[in-house]
Amino acid sequence: MIFGNSAQVNKTRAWKKLVKHYKKMRDVEMRGLFRKDPQRAERYNINLDAMMLDYSKNRITDRTMAYLIALAKTCKLPEKIEAMFRGDKINHTEKRAVLHVALRNRENTPIMVDGRNVMPEVNAVLAKMRKFSEAVRLGKFTGHTGKKLVNIVNIGIGGSDLGPKMAVEALRKYWSKDINCYFISNIDGTACSEVLNKLNPEETLFIICSKTFTTIETLTNARTCRKWLVDALGEHAVAKHFVAVSTNAEEVAKFGIDTENMFEFWDFVGGRYSMWSAIGLIIAIAVGMDNFEKMLDGAHEMDMHFKYTELQKNIPVVLGLLSVWYTNFFNFRSLAIIPYDQYLHYLPAHLQQLIMESNGKFVSTQDEYVRYCTSPVVFGGAGTDVQHSFFQLIHQGTSVIPCDIIVPAISHNEVGDHHEILLANALAQGEALMKGKTVKEAYDEMRRAGKSKEEAKRLKKYKSFSGNRPSNTILFKKIDPFALGMLVAMYEHKTFVEGVIWDIDSFDQMGVELGKQMALSLLPELQNQASSISHDSSTENLVSVIKRLRK
């Protein structure tokens, strides 16, 4: 099996070549690169079915890409891609396979884990999802009083919330007309109360998403929803209004859920990669299983592209290597993801978890502390809104922040000139980030606009833009289920590429554990129970102040 690299990546010859190359590239202007090469946009783009990646607005040359590809090969990226698809236990800290690709293996080729083909189990769950989602949509599976279940509430946290919520919203145009979707994740009681206040218990179905059925936030919210339902309809209503996505049949049954309505998923699927599994049940109910499977089809298309395409023309590979180039050589430590599609406004939040939970690590697969940055800080939002929030920093801030600009050529809502204006803004941002505006250009522009020499001279620096700021444009025909599947799978594989180069395990999430452990130790004290665990003086003082305020 292939786990770590033979040496930390920053000690390799390939890395050192990139260090030297960076010194030649750090002051290169993209404006000049475009002037010298009229075919640049054609050479630095990749087409795949209904999507295109334009990565020409980056501080790269052919030599840059050759050096980055050499680095990928030094880190055995092709072999590690094969290892993932083969079912090797590449999540080496937890000794697990990483097979979200099996969930969308539309060719149904055997994928082996510990000597068994997992595809029959995957297909069985998909069939069960189809049967149940259609029964709910058609009103054949009804609530306790016989009413159709039209309010679907997903109770989960992390990957059991962010992925399904993003996908459901992204595909809102495909919802069944009488279905409404809600999500409860935060342990803050407000999150639960605000959803329940909108609902009629007779028409509400709850989906509890917890692999172990012990996640404190999810189970606390679930019990509150259970009490709300029982107070309205009685204890016997639970089995008709709750289903579970879990592996813990005993606890599911104790809750009152019919285990026939329990949907399984597996250890080889991490939470942030789980929307393709039964965790996506709310997606299937909202948009129909046919559309859910079209989303799987799109993801599978990207899987096959990632698995079989040469590195130079491989979209996730190129994006991952560009991320390494900026993160580790230019020290650009952030990434902005900007979808110019209102339905994708939850996408940056989902990708925050995918990227930062996967690659926010400081120990390599060789059990050594790494001495280089292993993940950018990811943020974003829907264009054009974000042009009026953080784009000031992106254009004129002292930190350079690479951007991914996601653009659909066709809107689901072609209203007047709205989409043309949206497209114009999306394309203009990439061009403005690359070109900028020199002090002289700013001065001349103001003079042409009638400003006095004195006023133009006073404002010319304020009106200038440094430019030379990188961006990728990811263009789709339309954000339909197939395109959404491609898009999310692309980022999953890009994240894997980064992790391979940085030689970290992208598939555990041990960094989320410590705070939760400490919360459990503090809970008894906040509940006025004795605790044998001592805390620092700041924490102890905060506990006493909170208890006093709550009295």
Claim to verify: residue 280 and residue 318 sit in the same structural domain:
no
| Residue 170: domain span | 119-292
Q: What mean pLDDT do residues 494-516 have? A: 95
Domain boundary (292, 318, 341) is at 292
Claim to verify: residue 495 and residue 532 sit in the same structural domain:
no
What is the band of 382 on the pLDDT scale with cuts at 50, 70, 90? very high
Claim to verify: residue 486 and residue 519 sit in the same structural domain:
no
- Parallel, antiparallel, or unpaired: how do β-strands 180-184 and 151-155 relate? parallel
Distance CA 503, CA 508 (A): 13
Distance CA 404, CA 315 (A): 13
Domain of 236: which CATH number? 3.40.50.10490
**pLDDT in the model for residue 3:** 53
Claim to verify: residue 425 and residue 355 sit in the same structural domain:
yes
The 180-184 sheet, strands edge to edge: 180-184, 151-155, 204-209, 242-245, 262-263
Q: Supply the mean pLDDT for the chain.
A: 96
Is the overall model pTM greater than 0.85, yes or no?
A: yes
Claim to verify: residue 407 and residue 496 sit in the same structural domain:
yes
Claim to verify: residue 415 and residue 327 sit in the same structural domain:
yes
Claim to verify: residue 518 and residue 501 sit in the same structural domain:
no
What is the band of 383 on the pLDDT scale with cuts at 50, 70, 90? very high
Q: Which of the residues are catalytic?
A: 357, 388, 516
Q: What mean pLDDT do residues 368-385 have? A: 96
Domain assignment present for residue 83? The answer is no
**pLDDT in the model for residue 534:** 86
Distance CA 438, CA 464 (A): 5
**pLDDT in the model for residue 529:** 84
Q: What mean pLDDT do residues 384-398 have? A: 97
Which single residue is written with the structure tokens 């509400």? Answer: 204
What is the band of 1 on the pLDDT scale with cuts at 50, 70, 90? very low
Claim to verify: residue 229 and residue 284 sit in the same structural domain:
yes
Claim to verify: residue 383 and residue 404 sit in the same structural domain:
yes
Report the candidate in 151, 286, 133, 158 with the shortest Cα–Cα distance to residue 218: 158
**pLDDT in the model for residue 192:** 97
413 exposure class (CB count in 10 Å sphere: 0-12, 13-18, 19+): exposed
Residue 492 has φ and ψ, to the nearest 5°, of: -60, -45
